[in-house]
Amino acid sequence: MNSNPQASTALPDVLARFERKMNVFRSSVQTPKVRAAALATADQDIDAAKRLILSMFTRRNMLVPISILPAEILARIFHFNAFSEDRYSLGWVPVTHVCRRWRQIALDDSTLWAYFSPYLRNKGWIAERLSRARNAPLVIDLCSSMGQDTFSLFTPHISHTRELYLRNMPNVLHPTIIQGITAQTAPALEHLEIYVSNQISPMKHCDGHSFFKEPLPELRIFSVSQIVFPWSLVPRGRLTQLEVTLNEALHTSEAEMSPHDDLNALLDLLANCPALEVLTLKNCLPATVSESSGGRRIYIPRLSRLCLGGSSSRVTNTLKTLKLSSSTTLRLDCLPEDVPTLNGHPILPVLSVHFTPIEFRSLKIHLDYVTRVIVMVASTSLPTSPIPNAHDIQLDKDIDAELSLVHDFDNMVDRILVQARKALPFLKLEFPPSLRFDR
């Protein structure tokens, strides 16, 4: 029940007056010309009202505490928001819709728009972001699911690209992409990774053309997978990380030599990369290292991690050509020889020379009779917890161990263990009684 009779009578009066005015308005706009003029006037009034409301919002936003922050601080906050989870994520973009000032600050900071995910599909949005990035150093991550027309959007921007990732490139598309990209100069490039699809045979890049038109003065990290090319094409000078990997070793005829078999080119490359800290060479080691090197050894003083993969002889001979710090961590994956030999396992004496005078405190050994390999992980640190089962050995978990060795074996398990015990300087190692050693 309404307790205010004046209010109940006032509302009908207001509605009645409004209805009378609307009737007058309708009667005055009967002709099309007058209606058009009235409509234009109404639109102008609405636009003016919108501008008034927007100006009121702007004045209100200026009064809140966050508006006192300088533009540089807000831009820094936007960066934290943008890269808190994934630097490629666009989850931060809604901050540009909060207010006019925030949007302008975001648009003025070109580095916010410099990261390009392999999952981008909208070419219009890619072009817009490239425009907003202007000349900022770009990080471009591309994959095979992108069309060639999408790749072409990035080609003119290689000159100010800092990191470039080409992942899972299909063999049929790779030459076209590489040709378009390497025709550009890349003076700002620091990180380059090129991966051909693992489901296909290696891509050959042996036409004598470098990976880019000009030298790469700023390149620090160079990683290539499933591509065969001459060692002379690898950028050098300031490299800190070099990774060249193939899924499996190439099998070439005697008349055809793999570009990776040029030992002198590989040694020249390593000699001209004194800043190397990480070196990974898998299934691309030269075949005749010991014969053609002439006893030459390359000293890499800053190398902290060396990963070699290939046949036992290639891994051993390559290791002999390198002079490393005794603190260099080794991860060696020795595969069976194409032709069985009776040389035993000469890699252990080489390791002994490398690690002298280091003393190891722990040793893990796992024998896999299915794959016919022995896994050895040696560390100067004591294990943090007891190992309940040898099958728990996982190289990924032993990433800090000084030595991780995967080696093939064939009815020579005792022989390998004896050599390991004699060759490597272990400290206070106790072997189970079930293992017998010939002295």
Mean pLDDT by 10 residues, the chain (439 residues): 56 75 72 79 89 86 83 91 72 84 92 87 89 94 77 89 85 63 85 79 64 83 90 87 87 62 87 93 78 70 91 86 85 75 64 74 72 76 55 58 75 58 54 44
pLDDT at 191: 95
Task: With beta carbons less than 8 A apart as the criterion, state whether 382 and 376 touch.
Answer: no
CA distances from 120 to 88, 109, 202, 280 (A): 10, 21, 27, 31
pLDDT at 72: 93
| Burial classification of residue 15, based on how many CB atoms lie within 10 Å of its CB (0-12 exposed, 13-18 middle, 19 or more buried) | exposed
Please give the distance of CA 60 from its chain centroid, rounded to a whole number: 44
pLDDT at 372: 72
Q: How many CB atoms lie within 10 A of CB 409?
A: 19
pLDDT at 273: 92
pLDDT at 9: 58
Q: Which domains, and CATH codes, for the chain?
A: 66-334 (3.80.10), 344-431 (no CATH)
Q: Rounded CA gap, 361 and 353, in Å? A: 17
Angle among Cα 275, 277, 283 to the nearest 5 degrees reads 115
Both tokens assigned to 144: 């095979």
pLDDT at 290: 44
pTM for the model stands at: 0.76
> At residue 191, what is the residue type?
H
CA distances from 102 to 5, 50, 58, 111 (A): 51, 20, 11, 15
Task: With beta carbons less than 8 A apart as the criterion, state whether 425 and 356 touch.
Answer: yes
Tokens 């003083």 belong to 301
